[in-house]
């Protein structure tokens, strides 16, 4: 049942369940000690200040920056914005107790403006409880804690003043936000983080924005991408939106499947770390190595199960033969009105042909309500980890073989999404789908890899093989 504002206020007044840490009950000792005061007192230790040093654009000297973040795991993992730390040559995290620690960047997504940092404090840290943003109500109270203009531990209050802003479904809030608040938590009346502060409207007062925590939950596994990043396989998928780390899928013949892990199992501990929700499980995979065991404590029904499956080397796609290839990609052009990528296999194309690279420049195409599918091969120049990017208006997706690597689907303005995949040098089937509803349209496909800076994929990397069995991904 959706929560209502009176029920939230009643819950706070009666039990003071400020879930930035363990649930407690506190007697009100003074009329000045309001629910907001107790909420701030409880959540303050979970919020950090982030200080960065960047080289000055001129090349002379350095520029100092500031931001905020939230501790989301007692082992010292901090969630913040990517733009807070991007380009920094060094930086530290200042805890509420005044102690500062150098951070290292575990992973970041420029496209989602998210980053995960790690500090080694030598002790378990008080952590923020992650909530949900699927049932937010206009007008419900919120608190922002952060480091505006270098003033650590600053607090402002407001309400949820708007929902579903932009393609990322951002939260609009009236709480005061200034430079340095970026990356900090937007907190609801239960003391749960429901958003990540990301920006303010520069030409208006009391209009700030936060990435929804549901968006952060959904994007977290792709940002960490532990199996691709570290070249390992465990084969467990957890529900990142659930209140527990519930197993939602197990890959066939994976270490998890061979160890007997089942859909519906709930993970309580992994690799010696406590696991309360799906993001914690992905944190437990950071630094994994093939041949290393992953001690797990599972709950199945009324039973607690202890197992130690071993990470296997990540099965990699097999490159295909270059025999019979020629430069370019095949394209199919479609007309129709869609709000998400259609099943192109079930549609009849209006036109087909060849193109040197993915492009929307087809003579005679409609100005709106159309789609493209590009199929062929891409040549990975070296062994290693590749990042593929699809920037589009409206939706796009990119597959390598039968693996969906980039998902930038849906109605939105120009937006870039990315995904990781580990490849050996060679040729691989590639499929790129795109659709345009109305308004502006754009599509740019880029990559980054071993000794390869981020760049648009040039025609020299694309090939096509007629009647090739390698193009099964084209049926997506």
pLDDT score, position 211? 93
Strands 273-274 and 296-300: unpaired
Task: Name the DSSP letter for residue 293.
Answer: B
pLDDT, tens digit (0-9, with 9 covering 90-100), for 214-235: 999 999 999 999 999 999 999 9
Residues 47, 184 contacting (CB under 8 angstroms): yes
pLDDT at 458: 96
Q: What is the pLDDT of residues 389-399, one digit of tens each?
A: 999 999 999 99
What is the domain partition of the chain in residue ranges? 227-313, 325-475
Residues of the chain under the 70 pLDDT cut? 1-29, 165-168, 200-205, 467-476
pLDDT at residue 473, as a whole number: 40
Please tell me whether residue 276 adopts helix, strand or coil conformation.
coil
Statement: 325-475 belongs to CATH 2.60.120.1560: yes
pLDDT of 31: 85
Q: Is 115 exposed, middle or buried (0-12, 13-18, 19+ CB in 10 A)?
A: buried
pLDDT of residue 352: 95
pLDDT of residue 4: 43
Over its C-alpha atoms, the chain yields an Rg (Å, rounded) of: 24
pLDDT of residue 167: 53
CATH of domain 227-313: 2.30.42.10
Please give the Cα distance from 425 to 439 (Å, whole number): 39
Helix (H, G, I), strand (E, B) or coil at 325: strand
CA dihedral 78, 80, 85, 91 (to 10 degrees): -30
d(CA 446, CA 423): 16
Place of tokens 């693996």: 403
Catalogue the active-site residues.
Answer: 83, 113, 182
């Amino acid at each position: 049942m959706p929560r209502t504002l009176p029920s939230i206020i009643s819950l706070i007044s009666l039990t003071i369940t400020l879930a930035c840490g363990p649930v407690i009950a506190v007697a009100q000792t003074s009329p000045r000690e309001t629910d907001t005061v107790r909420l701030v007192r409880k959540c303050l230790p979970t919020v950090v200040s982030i200080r960065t040093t960047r080289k000055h654009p001129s090349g002379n000297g350095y520029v100092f920056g500031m931001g905020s973040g939230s501790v989301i795991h007692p082992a010292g993992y901090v969630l913040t914005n990517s733009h807070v730390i991007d380009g920094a040559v060094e930086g530290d995290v200042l805890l509420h107790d005044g102690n500062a620690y150098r951070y290292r960047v575990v992973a970041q997504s420029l496209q989602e403006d998210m980053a995960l940092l790690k500090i080694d404090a030598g002790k378990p840290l008080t952590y923020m409880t992650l909530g949900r943003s699927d049932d937010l109500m206009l007008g419900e109270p919120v608190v922002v804690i952060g480091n505006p203009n270098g003033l650590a531990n600053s607090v402002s209050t407001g309400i949820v003043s708007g929902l579903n802003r932009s393609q990322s479904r951002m939260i609009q809030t009236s709480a005061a936000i200034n430079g340095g608040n970026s990356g900090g938590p937007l907190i609801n009346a239960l003391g749960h983080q429901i958003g990540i502060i990301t920006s303010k409207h520069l030409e208006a007062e009391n209009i700030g924005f936060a990435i929804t925590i549901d968006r952060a939950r959904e994007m977290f596994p792709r940002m960490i991408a532990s199996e691709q990043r570290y070249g390992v396989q465990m084969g467990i998928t957890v529900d990142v939106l659930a209140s527990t780390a519930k197993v939602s899928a197990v890959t066939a013949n994976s270490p998890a499947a061979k160890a007997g892990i089942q859909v519906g199992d709930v993970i309580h501990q992994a690799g010696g770390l406590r696991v309360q929700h799906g993001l914690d499980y992905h944190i437990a995979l950071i630094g994994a190595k093939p041949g290393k065991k992953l001690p797990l404590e599972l709950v199945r029904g009324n039973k607690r199960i202890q197992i130690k499956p071993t990470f296997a080397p990540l099965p990699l796609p097999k490159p295909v033969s270059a025999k019979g290839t020629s430069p370019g990609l095949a394209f199919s052009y479609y007309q129709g009105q869609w709000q998400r990528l259609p099943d192109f296999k079930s549609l009849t194309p209006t036109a087909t042909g060849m193109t040197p690279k993915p492009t929307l420049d087809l003579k005679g195409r409609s100005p709106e309500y159309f789609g493209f599918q590009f199929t062929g091969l891409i040549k990975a120049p070296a062994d290693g980890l590749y990042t593929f990017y699809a920037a589009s208006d409206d939706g796009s997706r990119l597959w390598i073989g039968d693996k969906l690597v980039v998902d930038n689907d849906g109605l939105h303005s120009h937006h870039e999404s990315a995904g990781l995949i580990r490849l050996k040098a060679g040729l691989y089937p590639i499929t790129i789908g795109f659709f345009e509803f109305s308004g502006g349209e754009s599509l740019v496909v880029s990559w980054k890899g071993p000794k390869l800076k981020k760049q648009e994929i040039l025609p020299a990397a694309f090939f096509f093989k007629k009647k090739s069995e390698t193009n099964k991904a084209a049926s997506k």
